[in-house]
Structures are given as structure tokens and as C-alpha cells.
């Protein structure tokens, strides 16, 4: 399928833009200049990423080697369809989130805004770096960079709650990557002498089944950002962060980096043939399924809106892991698409949660009865987000879920079909009542006697945009569907 | 000129030291510039030699024209050239960074301090450059004696710790001397290259006397480098010394001793003997594992910054000893690479800790509150150093750890690999504990500040950053950690691979 | 057993240096007085010097000075090995320097704590820590 390899420094530029934005942001004197620069950096980054899209869609692959840090093992970038898709989504959503951040941070008068924007830019560098990694070492480098860059964001409030959440966050994320990913990576390198992702994996036949099983488990759990149970507790804890952080990082960038890494490892390191021949993918599927169901059940009982969203995210992430691990063409297509669809849906939900908090100071679902009348735009967007996450038309989420469902059948594993359906019902059960109560309630029930206005325009516009895109993606799933299909072609060749 | 550089590297500082000592009576203000010039020149010539070595191979200098094995030779090869650069660079950076500290702590003894400083560097440079086993002992003691004095010149508990260090250090050096004596009896030579030739003969390969020489030489070096369980002197000596001294002695002493171990192991006793014949590798790696685990755990138990750093040094010594005794190319590469990286990392952390104590007058954890706001630059550099010690890419600490762990896996020594991972995790806990205190807590506040409700509150604590002369070298070191990491590939292929004898797989 | 004794008799210089070394080590480890420790250290170093010098000795041979009127070719086997002596000259200088540094430190410690007994110093330190 791949017709040509293009050598270009554009992936490096895409990563560096937001990195270089950091000193610029630090030197800014006023808020306005700082925010302008954030926008400029975000837009430039998106444009650079998007400029590579035609090349990729034409079936090319872009490569760039930065440093030979270890002999024969460079820090190198490789842009393929899958990576492109992820980079496109995250860099696009950075623009939207920047706008939202401005509205949110200003209306709440948060402190340390320079630091906030700097680390945000840094996180995005790392995210795109992960998307474009050509080997496991580069992937690990950017993964760790992301862990560390998000720590000050998660603990932004610098109070005791932030401190303990930050501790949980690092304990899981950094701990798992050092204790599990690093040794697994070193072991693989010591035995195979390479870490370059290959379309069908590079592990060969040098490993016994039990060794492979251990390695798979170490890598799947080690990328704890994917939130696979039992290494998921960091995500609800990280919800102490300001909402734009939760929105972009904990609905899109960080968590998707986790599943992206898992997907890369499954396809690019082990390869579909090897996993299928030992039937190891079923193990991963089972783990993901348990997470899906358990997370949905826990989400039911959460009253904090952001916490409910967090558990929903944990479940949705495992959809992606499940899809990739099924290793049937439709399932992998669905999984890749779900990265995009869920990103737009969930970021809308987080934006709404933040908007509600910024406008009314309310964080808990039980206090949100009747809010739909006060904030009709926000809650409409919320409804769209909910539909997308549940996987109902006319939202993008339906397409990815459709492919996932088809994928379970194609892989001939109906058990996982049941998992998907049950979990969809649970999704509906924990999301729809919120929307229902927001709009339909008696006057006595309504919690908002005082007048609550819609949020500032800076907050409102972004969430409307992401909600509309969620809808648009249902009708026009390109270029993502094409990219996903190309990715599948490369990984599974079917 | 290049031809004479190996000798000049030792002789020039030696003479400058005497000049500085004399000057301190006449024109004390000239002491610092002269010291600076001398160490700067050493650094420049070290870099010159390194370039020369990379270009055209090892440089050998025969002292006084007496050729080996009768005369003393200085050999700058692929192994010693980079270590030379590290030694002189660390000394120069620390000199700039510590000049204020020296002014404050030793205003009446500045001349003496600078004399000792140069002599210490002379000794270290000599150890690295010499190609003679006995000469190594003499330079070892020059470096050690000045090291004791640099530590003992400090206040409070420093003299007592220094004396303890002196007792144990003397035993270590004497053991080395004794080992060299036995080696001399067995072979009749003191020249390292010559000794290596003798070692190839079967009668020496099997001799008990040579074995005894090996054991006792190595034990001496282990004492000197503070390898667990012979580390007792290290924590107190490094933590009670003046930061100006400890930031010089701590990065260099242990690392140069590791260098000496590699030098003696590979180029005197030869790998065929050490790894092939003696079979001590396995046992030594386990001792290294113990050192790593023990150092990490005790670091966890400390309540002050310098003490914690000293136990990290002990763990790092375990890294390098273990890497060497794995006996494979990857492990030894990692060990040699870690000499360079760890010297830089330790320097960075000790300088940062020095800058902190320069301002706060205390290195107790509870006095580190709010430091991210008060000393943002220092803490940034400290963070980079910490990440390097934890082993986060792209800092250099990650890459040496990479080689060491790969070496461990290839040798089938999973315990060692696990110990390294364990130590990384513990280091992460250690440093993030400090970050938490420095980031979240407010100074002068017993339980940490609760400001959940008024988070719009502006931080009132003013910035009280250390002087520029401290910050700049510190920042350079921190950037160096990243640069070293990025150029690991070049360092390994162009220098370290060439330093390891061909026979090692 | 007898073999060991003969071996020890034949190499009594080794026995002597090891005994001296142990005496030195004993003093360094067991004694509480710092000056006694320093003396122990000196004995320890001297034992190694003795070892070196004794290995140079050859029974019945002469000092390594070539006679002015030597007409036959000089045989190295006819002379005591001079090299260990030369080496030990350096080692003695080193040990004297070590002694100097050690005594200087001991003086500094005495001025600070008013005693040279290590136990008393540690007691001092402990009570200080207790106070702070």
C-alpha cells in the first residue's frame, strides 16, 4: 500500500512549534499578547500537521530522523495514517481549547496563567510527538514528557486536594511507565535489537507464548494513560484540574495518547499475526471488556459531573483498546475512528461541565436540575455530546461504534458484541437523566432561582463548534474514515 | 604542543597551586582569577586532547624521556580523554558557581582553599592520565589528601566527618598500594600496558599472588568509591562539607574511582582474567544490587537534601560497579557512560542544593517550602537534574541506564536490571516529594497552605534567587544534562566503544 | 600444620607486616581517642612500607651501587632491588602528608569540642541534636 517514503522535517516542525512557543509565552507581559501567541502557535501547529495530510492520503509516509541518541536507535519521526489522524484531532482541538481556556481562566480569575499556557503548549508538543513517533524509544520519550508536563496542569490550584491528586496522578502514570513499559521495552530491545515500529510488528518468532503474554500485559498496563483497570484511578483524581485541562488532556490528548500507545504497541511491535497466532489478543479484549463494564457501572453512581465524565472516559478508552485488540479490519477501523469521534464528543461534554461551573459554580449533577432553561445553548451542546458518546445518530460516535460492532462479528467474538451493547445501555443510563432533568422539571424542583446567564462567548463558541463537528462527522466522516481504513490496510492488510 | 599536553595537564596546575598559595599572602585578590585561568586552561587542553584522540588515536607521553616500562608514561586514550574533560569541566563550573560561597564561608582562607582546589583537580587529572600503577597511587593520595582538607575546612561537623573519611580513605589507598606491591612481585613491572602483557602469560593467569593482588587492589578502590558496604564515610563527609567543596568532591571522587576500577580491571588485569578466569562478576553484581537497593532505601529515609543526595551517590556507585562487572560490552559501555553522566548529574544537584542553602541557610526538607516561587531558576535546574537521576529521556541519565539495563538483560542478570528500575522508582518518589514541598507548601506554614477558597490570592513571597554567578553555571549544567543525553549516540560510537577492548562481546 | 609453620618461617617478613597491619587496624577501629587512631593509621601505613622494602631484599647480595671500578658486566641479580625503596620514599612522603592532615583535623576538632575522645564528641552531638 505504501507507495513512497518522503523525508521531510515537517513532523519535527509540528512538534517544535508549541515547544518554541514556551519561551515566547514566558516573555509575554500582558494577558492579551500571551493569548494571541497561544492562538498563533496552535493555528500554526494545526496548519503544519494539516499540510502533511495530502501526502499521507496519497499513500505516502513521512520520515525524519532527529538524533542518533543510541547507535542504530534514533529519535525519529514517522507519519502514517494512524498517527496523522491522531495528530490532526489533537492539534485542531488545541485551537478550540485555547479559546475556551481564555474564557474559562478569565472568568474564574485563575492564578499562574502564564505557567498554565506554557505547560499546555508543552503537553501538545508531547502529544504530537507521540503521534509521529517512529520507534518505541521516541514514543516513550514523548510519553514521559507528557506525563511531566501535565503534572503542573493537574495540580494547578496548588492546594491540598491538588497535591494529593497530583501524587496519585504521578504514582500511576510515571510509576507504571517506569516499572512496566521501560523494562519491557529494554527487554524487547535486548532480544531483538530494534524498536522501530513495523507495519506487522518486529518481534518475530523469538519469544515463547508466556514471555509474549507478560510483555503484552506489561505494555498494555504500563501505558496507564489508557486508563485500563486497575490502573485507572489517576483519571478521576486528575479531575481537580481546571476544566480546559480536563477537556483537552483528559478527554483527548493524555488519555488518547495512552490508547494510541497501546494500539501502536499491539500493531507495530507485536503485530497482528503474532498476537492472533497465540490468541493473545483475546486476553487484551477481556481486560478491556471488564474495564468497559466496570467503569460504566461506577459512572452511574458518581454525582460530580466531571467524575462521571471521567469514568465514562475510562470506559470509552477501553472501547478503543478492545477494537484494536480484536484485530479484525472493521474493529480496528472502528477503534481508530473512535479516537476521533469520542474526542469531539467528550471534549464537548467537558466544555459544558466547565461552562456550567463557570456560570453557576455548580459541580454536582444533583444540583443541575433545571439548568437547561438557564443555559439552553450549553445544554443542547451537552445533549449532542451525550448522543455522540452513547453512539446514537446523528452523531459521529455512531459511526465508530457501528464499525466496532461489525468488528466483533467479523472477528467472530459475539461475547464482545454483548459487552458493547450492554455498555451502550449503561452509557445512556448515566448520561440521559442529566439532560432530561436539565430541561424537564417542575418549577419546584428547579435549583436555579437566581438568574444564571449563559457563559461568556469565549466559552460558548468553542463548545458549540465541537458539538457541531460531532454532528458533521456523522454525515462527512472524511478524512478520518479514509485515514482509518488506510491504517487498517497497513496493519492488517485485509 | 599537543605532544606535551598530557604532562602539562598535571604540571601546570601543580605549579599554579604553589603560586596561588604564595599569592594569597601578597595579593589575595588575584587568587580566584589565577585559579580560574588555570582550570580553564586545563579544560581547554583536555578538550584539545579529546579531539586529538578522536582524530588520531591515543596520545602517549613519556615523562622525562624515559620510555616505558622503565619510565612513567601518561596515556590519554579513548577512556581517559572524556573523563579528563569531565573532571576539568566540573571543576571549572563549580569554581564559578561557588566563588560567592567561598567568599562568604572562607573569607580568611581563600588562598588556601583555592590552592587545595587546584591540587585536588591536579590529583584527579593525574589519576585519569597516568599509565603507571604506582603513580596512580601517588595521585590517588594527592587527590584524597586535598579532598580531606577541602571537606575538613568546612564548619561544624565537617572536620570530624573529614577525619573519619581520612581514616577509611587511607585504608583504601593502602590496600591499593599493597595490591600493586603483590602485582610487582609477581610480574616485576608497574607500567599498566606492560602489566597487561604479563597477564596474558599463563603462569600469571593462574597465580594466587596475582589473584590476591586483584582482590586487594579492587577492595581498596571499592573503599575509595564508597561501594556498599564500604560506604560508611561517604554520607557525612559529603553532607557536612561546605557546598563549595562537596559540589567538587562528590561528583568527582566516586566517578574517578570508578574510572580507576575500569582502568585497572580492563587495562591492567585484562578482561580475559577478570571476567573469564576469576568469575567474580556474578558476586560483584549482586553486591552492586545491594548497593543500589540499600542506597535508594536509605535516601528515602533522609530528611535533608544533602544527606539524600549522598545516598543517591551510593546507589549510583552501585550502578556503575554492577555495569562493569556484568562483563559485557553493553554493561561496560553503560558504566563508562555513566561516569560522564553521573558526574554531570551529581554536579547539577549539588550546585542546586548549594544555591538553595546559600539562600535558606538550611537544607532540611521542611525549609524547602515554596522554593519554586522564590528560586525558580535554581529549582528548574534542580528539576532537570532530578529527572536525569530518575532517568527520564531525553536527559542523559536515561541513556546510561539504558545501556546498563540492556547489559543486565543480555548477561541474564535480571536482578540487576530490576534493581535499576527499582532505584528509578525510588528516585521518582524522592524527588517528587521535594517538588511537592517546594511547589505546594508556603514558607513559614506548618501544615502547608490551604487556600482552596481564595485561590485568586497572589503569592506574596518574593523571589530571592541565588546570585547570578551561581545561576548561570547551574543552568549550563542543566542544559548539559540534556545535551549529553541527545549526543549519547556520538559519545558512545566515537569514544566509548573505542575505549573497550575488542575481546568483550 | 608443620608446613604452614615452615612457610611462615620462610616468609617471616609477610607475617611481620600482617601482624603490624592488624595492630594498626585494631587501633583505628577500637580506640576512641582520635590521636590513638591516627597512630594506628601510621602503623598501618608503615606495615605496607615494610612489606615493600622487605621484598626487595636478596640474601647475601649487596646494596645497589655499582662500584666505580667495575670491570665485569653488571648483573642485576647481584644487587638488592632498589625500586621498592624508591617507591617507598614516595609512599613515606604520602604517609607523612596524611599524618599532617590528620593531625590538623584533630586539632580543629579539639578546638571545636574540647576533647579528642570520639565517644564524648558523639555524646555532644547527640545532645545538640536533641536540643534543636
- The reply to whether B421 touches chain A by the CB within 8 Å rule is yes
List the single best residue of C39, C46, C55, C101 to mutate versus B (max B Cβ within 10 A): C101
**C121 interfacial to chain B (CB closer than 8 Å):** yes
Give the pLDDT of residue B85.
93
**Highest averaged pLDDT of the listed ranges A232-241, B21-30, B407-416:** B407-416
C residues 30..59 contacting B (CB < 8 A): 34, 37, 41, 44-45, 48, 51-52, 55
Residue B179 has a pLDDT of 93
pLDDT at position B458 is 45
Do C and B touch (≥3 CB pairs < 8 Å)? yes
Cβ distance B181 to C106 less than 8 Å, yes or no, reads no
Output the pLDDT for position B494.
86
Residues 460-499 of B with CB under 8 A from A: 485-490, 492-493, 497
pLDDT for the residue C40: 93
Asked if chain A contacts chain C via 3 or more Cβ pairs within 8 Å, the reply is no
Nearest CB to C52 within list B163, B170, B181: B181
Asked if B399 has any chain A CB less than 8 Å from its own CB, the reply is yes
Residues B309-340 have pLDDT tens digits of: 999 999 999 999 999 999 888 899 999 999 99
In percent, the amount of chain B with pLDDT more than 90 equals 37
Facing C51 at nearest CB: one of B141, B167, B181: B181
The residues, ordered by sequence, that sit 6+ positions from A5 with a Cβ below 8 Å of its Cβ are A60, A61, A62, A63
Helical axes A414-439 vs A376-390, angle rounded to 10°: 170
Q: Does B451 touch chain A (CB under 8 A)?
A: yes
Q: Which residue of B has its CA nearest to A190?
A: B406
For residue B236, the distance in angstroms to the closest alpha carbon of chain C comes to 13
Lowest mean pLDDT among B23-37, B360-374, C104-118: B360-374
How confident is residue A443, by pLDDT bands cut at 50, 70 and 90?
low
Whether residue B483 lies inside any domain: the answer is yes
Q: Is residue B439, in this structure, part of any structural domain at all?
A: yes
> What is d(CA B461, CA B447) in angstroms, rounded to the nearest whole number?
17
Range of the domain at C57: 2-61+78-131
DSSP for A193-234? Answer: S--B--TT-S-TT-S-HHHHHHHHHHHHHHSGGG--TTTTTH
Does residue B200 have a pLDDT over 60?
Answer: yes
- The confidence score (pLDDT) of residue A300 equals 87
Chain-wide mean pLDDT for chain A?
Answer: 85
pLDDT of residue C4: 77
- What CATH number has the domain bearing residue C14? 1.10.287.3510
Say whether B159 and C108 touch across the interface (CB within 8 A). Answer: yes
Q: Average pLDDT, stretch B237-265? A: 90
CA distances from B91 to A491, B97, B103, B251 (A): 53, 10, 17, 10
For residues A271-283, average pLDDT = 84
Instruction: Confirm whether B131 is domain-assigned.
Output: no
Q: What is the mean pLDDT of chain C?
A: 85
Interchain pair A189, B406: CB under 8 A? yes
Residue B110 resides in a domain: no
Count CB-CB contacts under 10 A for residue C79: 16
> What percent of chain A has a predicted confidence (pLDDT) above 90?
5
Q: Using beta carbons and an 8 Å cutoff, which residues of A are at the interface with B?
A: 67-71, 73-75, 109-111, 137, 140-141, 144-145, 148, 152, 155, 157-163, 166-167, 170, 174-175, 178-179, 182-183, 186-187, 189-191
Tell me, yes or no, if the pTM score tops 0.95: no
For the segment A251-276, the average pLDDT, to the nearest whole number, is 87
- B319: part of which helix (H) or strand (E)? helix B305-326
In the predicted structure, residue A117 carries a pLDDT above the cut 80: yes
Mean pLDDT of chain B: 86
Say if residues A85 and A66 touch (Cβ distance below 8 Å): no
C42-52: per-residue pLDDT in tens? 999 999 999 98
Confidence of residue B457 (pLDDT cuts 50, 70, 90): very low
Q: Do C98 and B138 touch (CB under 8 A)?
A: no
Q: Residue A56: is its pLDDT beyond 90?
A: no
Instruction: Read off the pLDDT of each residue in B465-480 and give the average, rounded to a whole number.
Output: 88
CA-nearest residue to B487 within chain A is: A69
**pLDDT for residue B455 is more than 60:** no
pLDDT band (50, 70, 90) for residue B221: very high
Q: Answer yes or no: is B422 within a domain.
A: yes
- The predicted-structure confidence for A19-47, as pLDDT tens digits, reads as follows 888 888 888 777 778 888 888 888 888 99
| Residue C30, domain member (yes or no) | yes
In angstroms, the separation between the Cα of residue B53 and the nearest Cα of chain C is: 31
Q: How many beta-carbon contacts under 8 Å exist across A and B?
A: 102
CA-to-CA distance for A401 and B192, rounded, in angstroms? Answer: 71
CB contact under 8 Å between B405 and A148, yes or no, is no
Structural domain of A298:
4-491
Task: Provide, as residue numbers in chain A, all residues whose Cβ is less than 8 Å from the Cβ of B341.
Answer: none
- Per-residue pLDDT tens over the stretch A374-392: 788 888 888 888 888 888 8
Q: How confident is the model at residue A452 (pLDDT cuts 50, 70, 90)?
A: low
CB atoms near residue B149 (< 10 Å):
22
Judge: B177–C55 Cβ closer than 8 Å, yes or no: no
Inter-chain contact C48–B171, Cβ cutoff 8 Å?
Answer: no
- Between CA B91 and CA B344 the distance in angstroms is 11
Secondary structure class of B413 (helix, strand, coil): coil
Q: Do A183 and B459 touch (CB under 8 A)?
A: no
**Interface probe with C: pick from B119, B137, B181, most Cβ of C within 10 Å:** B181
**Residue B62 burial (10 A CB sphere; 0-12, 13-18, 19+):** middle
Q: Could you tell me the residue range of the domain that residue B405 belongs to?
A: 296-447+459-505
Inter-chain residue contact B450 with A178, CB threshold 8 Å: no
User: B71 or A297, which is more confident?
Assistant: A297
Strand partners, B364: B304
- At residue B450, the pLDDT reads 44
pLDDT tens figures, A317-347: 999 999 989 888 888 899 988 998 888 888 8
Of the candidates A138, A66, A61, the residue with the CA atom closest to the CA atom of residue A487: A61
pLDDT value of position B313: 92
Dist CA A118 CA C98 (whole Å): 55
Over residues C106-118, mean pLDDT: 88
Residue C42 located in a structural domain: yes
The pLDDT, as a whole number, for residue B446 is 46
Least confident of A233-242, B11-20, B153-162, C66-75: C66-75
Q: What is the pLDDT of residue B325?
A: 92
Verify whether the Cβ–Cβ distance B432 to A170 is below 8 Å. yes
Q: SS3 of A29, please?
A: coil
Q: Which residue has the cell 590552592?
A: B115
CB-based contacts of B496, cutoff 8 Å, min separation 6: B78, B79, B82, B333, B336, B337
Chain C residue numbers with beta carbons less than 8 Å from the beta carbon of B148 are 101, 105
Q: Is residue C28 part of a domain?
A: yes
B493 falls within a domain = yes
Q: Count up the domains in chain B and report the number.
A: 1
φ, ψ of residue A75 in degrees (nearest 5): -80, 110
| pLDDT tier for residue B128 given thresholds of 50, 70 and 90 | very high
Using a CB-CB cut-off of 8 Å, the residues of chain B touching A111 are: 455-459
Shortest Cα distance, chain C CAs vs residue B309, angstroms: 21
Q: Mean pLDDT over residues B258-287, rounded?
A: 88
Residues of B with CB under 8 A from a CB of C: 134, 137-138, 141, 145, 148-149, 152, 157, 159-160, 162-163, 166-167, 170-171, 174, 177-178, 181, 184-185, 190
* C101 to B185: CB separation less than 8 angstroms, yes or no: no
- Among C37, C51, C52, select the one facing B167 at the smallest CB separation: C37
Average pLDDT of the segment spanning B85-109: 88
Closest residue to B157, CB basis, from C34, C48, C125:
C125
Q: Which of A71, A140, A161 sits opposite B489 (nearest CB)?
A: A71
How many domains is chain A built from?
A: 1
Q: Is the pLDDT of residue B291 over 90?
A: yes
Among A354-368, B55-69, B92-106, the range with the most confident prediction by mean pLDDT is B92-106
- Neighbouring chains of C at 3+ CB pairs under 8 Å are B
Q: Which pLDDT score, from 0 to 100, does residue C132 have?
A: 60
| C98/B170 touch (CB, cutoff 8 Å), yes or no | yes
pLDDT tens sequence across B331-388: 999 999 999 999 999 999 999 998 888 888 777 877 788 788 888 888 889 999 999 9
At A449 the pLDDT is 57
Q: What pLDDT score does B336 carry?
A: 92
- Residue of A158, A183, A191, A192 for testing the chain B interface, max B β-carbons within 10 Å: A158
Distance from CA of B29 to the nearest CA of A (A): 38
- What does the pLDDT read at residue B386? 92
Of the listed ranges A415-424, A476-485, B402-411, C62-71, the one predicted with least confidence: C62-71
Residue A446 pLDDT: 66
CB B109 within 8 A of CB B117: no
Across the interface, which of B394, B448, B452 has its CB nearest the CB of A141? B394
For residue C57, tell me if it sits in a domain: yes
Are B440 and A160 an interchain contact pair (Cβ–Cβ within 8 Å)? Answer: yes
Q: Which three cell numbers stand for residue A171?
A: 504514582
How close A137 gets to chain B, by Cα (Å)?
9
> Does B424 reach chain A within 8 Å, measured CB to CB?
yes
How confident is the model at residue B5, as a pLDDT? 82
Residue of chain A nearest B447, judged by CA positions? A160
Among the listed ranges A174-188, A239-253, B441-455, which one has the minimum average pLDDT value? Answer: B441-455
* Cβ–Cβ under 8 Å, residues A349 and A382: yes
Amino acid at each position: 500500500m505504501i507507495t513512497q517514503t518522503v523525508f521531510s522535517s515537517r513532523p519535527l516542525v509540528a512538534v517544535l512549534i508549541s515547544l518554541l512557543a514556551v519561551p515566547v509565552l514566558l516573555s509575554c507581559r500582558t494577558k492579551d499578547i500571551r493569548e494571541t501567541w497561544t492562538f498563533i502557535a496552535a493555528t500554526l501547529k494545526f496548519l503544519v500537521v494539516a499540510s502533511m495530510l495530502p501526502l499521507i492520503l496519497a499513500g505516502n509516509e513521512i520520515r525524519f530522523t532527529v538524533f542518533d541518541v543510541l547507535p542504530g536507535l534514533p529519535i525519529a519521526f514517522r507519519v502514517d495514517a494512524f498517527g496523522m489522524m491522531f495528530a490532526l484531532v489533537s492539534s485542531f482541538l488545541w485551537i478550540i481549547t485555547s479559546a475556551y481556556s481564555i474564557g474559562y481562566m478569565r472568568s474564574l480569575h485563575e492564578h499562574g496563567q502564564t505557567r498554565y499556557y506554557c505547560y499546555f503548549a508543552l503537553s501538545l508538543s508531547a502529544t504530537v510527538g507521540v503521534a509521529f513517533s517512529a520507534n518505541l524509544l521516541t514514543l516513550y520519550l514523548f510519553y514521559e514528557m507528557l506525563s511531566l508536563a501535565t503534572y503542573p496542569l493537574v495540580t494547578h490550584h496548588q492546594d491540598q486536594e491538588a497535591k494529593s491528586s497530583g501524587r496519585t496522578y504521578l504514582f500511576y502514570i510515571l510509576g507504571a511507565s517506569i516499572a512496566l513499559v521501560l523494562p519491557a521495552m529494554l527487554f524487547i530491545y535486548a532480544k531483538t535489537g530494534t524498536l522501530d515500529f513495523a507495519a506487522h510488528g518486529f518481534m518475530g518468532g523469538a519469544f515463547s507464548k508466556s514471555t509474549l503474554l507478560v510483555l503484552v500485559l506489561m505494555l498494555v498496563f504500563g501505558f496507564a494513560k489508557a486508563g485500563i483497570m486497575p490502573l485507572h484511578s489517576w483519571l478521576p483524581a486528575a479531575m481537580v484540574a481546571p476544566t480546559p485541562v480536563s477537556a483537552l488532556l483528559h478527554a483527548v490528548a493524555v488519555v488518547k495518547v495512552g490508547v494510541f500507545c497501546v494500539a501502536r504497541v499491539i500493531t507495530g511491535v507485536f503485530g497482528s499475526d503474532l498476537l492472533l497466532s497465540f490468541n493473545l489478543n483475546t486476553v487484551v479484549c477481556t481486560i478491556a471488556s471488564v474495564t468497559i463494564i466496570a467503569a460504566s457501572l461506577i459512572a452511574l453512581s458518581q454525582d460530580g459531573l466531571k467524575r462521571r465524565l471521567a469514568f465514562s472516559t475510562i470506559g470509552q478508552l477501553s472501547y478503543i483498546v478492545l477494537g484494536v485488540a480484536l484485530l479484525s479490519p472493521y474493529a480496528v477501523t472502528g477503534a481508530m475512528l473512535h479516537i476521533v469521534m469520542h474526542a469531539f464528543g467528550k471534549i464537548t461534554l467537558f466544555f459544558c461541565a466547565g461552562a456550567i461551573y463557570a456560570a453557576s459554580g455548580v459541580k454536582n449533577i444533583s444540583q443541575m436540575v433545571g439548568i437547561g432553561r438557564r443555559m439552553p445553548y450549553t445544554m443542547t451542546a451537552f445533549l449532542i455530546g451525550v448522543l455522540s458518546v452513547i453512539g446514537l445518530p446523528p452523531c459521529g460516535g455512531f459511526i465508530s461504534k457501528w464499525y466496532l460492532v461489525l468488528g466483533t462479528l467479523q472477528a467472530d467474538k459475539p461475547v464482545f458484541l454483548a459487552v458493547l451493547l450492554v455498555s451502550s445501555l449503561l452509557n445512556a443510563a448515566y448520561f440521559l437523566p442529566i439532560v432530561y432533568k436539565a430541561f424537564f422539571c417542575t418549577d419546584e424542583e428547579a435549583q436555579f432561582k437566581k438568574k444564571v446567564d449563559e457563559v461568556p462567548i469565549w466559552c460558548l463558541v468553542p463548545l458549540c463548534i465541537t458539538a457541531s463537528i460531532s454532528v458533521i462527522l456523522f454525515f462527512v466522516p472524511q478524512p478520518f474514515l479514509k485515514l482509518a481504513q488506510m491504517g487498517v490496510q497497513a496493519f492488517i492488510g485485509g | 604542543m599537543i605532544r606535551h599536553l598530557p604532562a602539562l595537564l598535571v604540571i601546570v596546575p601543580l605549579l599554579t597551586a604553589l603560586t596561588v598559595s604564595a599569592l594569597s599572602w601578597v595579593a589575595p585578590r588575584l587568587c580566584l582569577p589565577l585559579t580560574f585561568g588555570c582550570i580553564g586552561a586545563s579544560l581547554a587542553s583536555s578538550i584539545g586532547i579529546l579531539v586529538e584522540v578522536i582524530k588520531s588515536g591515543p596520545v602517549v607521553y613519556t615523562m622525562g624521556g624515559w620510555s616505558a616500562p622503565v619510565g612513567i608514561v601518561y596515556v590519554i586514550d579513548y577512556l581517559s580523554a572524556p573523563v579528563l574533560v569531565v573532571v576539568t569541566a566540573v571543576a571549572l563550573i563549580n569554581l564559578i558557581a561557588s566563588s560567592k560561597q567561598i567568599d562568604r564561608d572562607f573569607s580568611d582562607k581563600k588562598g588556601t582553599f583555592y590552592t587545595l582546589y587546584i591540587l585536588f583537580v591536579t590529583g584527579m587529572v593525574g589519576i585519569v592520565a597516568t599509565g603507571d600503577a604506582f603513580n596512580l597511587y601517588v595521585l590517588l593520595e594527592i587527590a584524597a589528601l586535598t579532598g580531606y582538607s577541602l571537606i575538613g575546612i568546612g564548619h561544624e561537623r565537617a572536620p570530624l566527618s573529614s577525619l573519619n573519611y581520612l581514616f577509611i580513605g587511607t585504608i583504601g589507598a593502602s590496600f591499593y598500594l599493597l595490591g600493586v606491591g603483590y602485582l610487582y612481585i609477581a610480574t616485576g613491572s608497574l607500567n599498566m600496558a606492560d602489566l597487561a602483557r604479563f597477564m596474558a602469560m599463563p603462569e600469571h593467569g593462574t597465580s594466587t599472588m596475582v589473584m590476591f593482588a586483584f582482590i586487594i587492589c579492587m577492595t581498596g578502590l571499592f573503599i575509595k568509591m564508597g561501594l556498599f558496604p564500604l560506604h560508611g564515610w561517604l554520607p557525612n563527609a559529603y553532607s557536612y562539607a561546605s557546598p563549595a567543596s562537596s559540589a567538587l568532591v562528590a561528583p568527582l571522587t566516586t566517578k574517578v574511582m570508578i574510572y580507576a576500577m575500569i582502568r585497572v580491571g580492563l587495562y591492567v588485569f585484562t578482561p580475559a582474567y577478570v571476567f573469564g578466569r576469576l568469575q567474580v562478576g556474578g558476586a560483584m553484581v549482586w553486591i552492586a544490587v545491594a548497593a543500589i537497593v540499600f542506597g535508594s532505601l536509605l535516601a528515602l529515609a533522609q530528611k535533608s537534601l544533602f544527606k539524600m543526595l549522598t545516598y543517591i551517590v551510593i546507589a549510583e556507585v552501585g550502578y556503575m560497579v554492577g555495569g562493569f562487572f556484568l562483563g559485557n560490552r553493553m554493561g561496560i559501555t553503560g558504566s563508562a557512560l555513566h561516569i560522564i553522566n553521573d558526574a554531570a548529574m551529581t554536579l547539577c544537584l549539588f550546585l542546586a542544593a548549594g544555591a538553595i542553602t546559600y539562600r535558606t541557610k538550611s537544607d532540611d526538607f521542611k525549609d524547602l517550602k515554596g522554593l519554586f516561587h522564590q528560586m525558580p531558576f535554581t529549582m528548574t535546574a534542580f528539576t532537570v537534574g532530578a529527572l536525569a537521576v530518575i532517568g527520564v529521556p531525553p536527559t542523559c541519565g536515561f541513556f546510561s541506564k539504558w545501556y546498563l539495563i540492556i547489559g543486565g538483560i543480555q548477561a541474564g542478570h535480571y536482578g540487576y536490571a530490576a534493581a535499576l528500575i527499582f532505584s528509578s522508582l525510588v528516585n521518582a518518589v524522592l524527588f517528587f516529594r521535594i517538588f511537592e514541598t517546594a511547589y505546594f507548601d508556603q514558607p513559614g506554614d506548618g501544615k502547608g497552605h490551604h487556600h482552596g477558597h481564595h485561590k485568586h490570592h497572589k503569592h506574596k513571597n518574593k523571589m530571592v534567587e541565588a546570585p547570578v554567578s551561581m545561576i548561570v553555571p547551574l543552568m549550563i549544567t542543566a542544559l548539559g544534562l540534556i545535551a549529553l543525553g541527545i549526543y549519547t549516540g556520538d559519545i558512545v560510537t566515537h569514544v566509548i566503544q573505542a575505549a573497550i577492548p575488542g575481546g568483550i562481546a | 600444620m608443620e608446613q604452614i609453620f615452615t612457610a611462615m618461617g620462610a616468609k617471616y617478613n609477610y607475617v611481620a607486616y600482617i601482624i603490624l597491619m592488624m595492630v594498626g587496624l585494631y587501633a583505628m577501629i577500637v580506640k576512641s581517642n582520635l590521636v590513638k587512631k591516627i597512630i594506628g593509621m601510621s602503623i598501618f601505613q608503615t606495615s605496607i612500607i615494610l612489606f615493600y622494602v622487605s621484598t626487595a631484599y636478596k640474601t647475601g647480595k649487596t646494596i645497589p651501587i655499582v662500584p666505580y671500578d667495575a670491570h665485569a658486566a653488571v648483573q642485576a641479580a647481584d644487587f638488592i632491588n632498589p625500586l621498592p625503596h624508591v617507591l617507598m620514599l614516595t609512599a613515606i612522603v604520602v604517609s607523612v602528608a596524611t599524618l599532617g592532615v590528620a593531625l590538623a583535623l584533630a586539632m580543629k576538632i579539639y578546638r571545636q569540642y574540647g576533647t579528642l575522645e570520639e565517644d564524648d564528641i558523639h555524646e555532644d552531638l547527640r545532645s545538640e541534636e536533641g536540643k534543636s
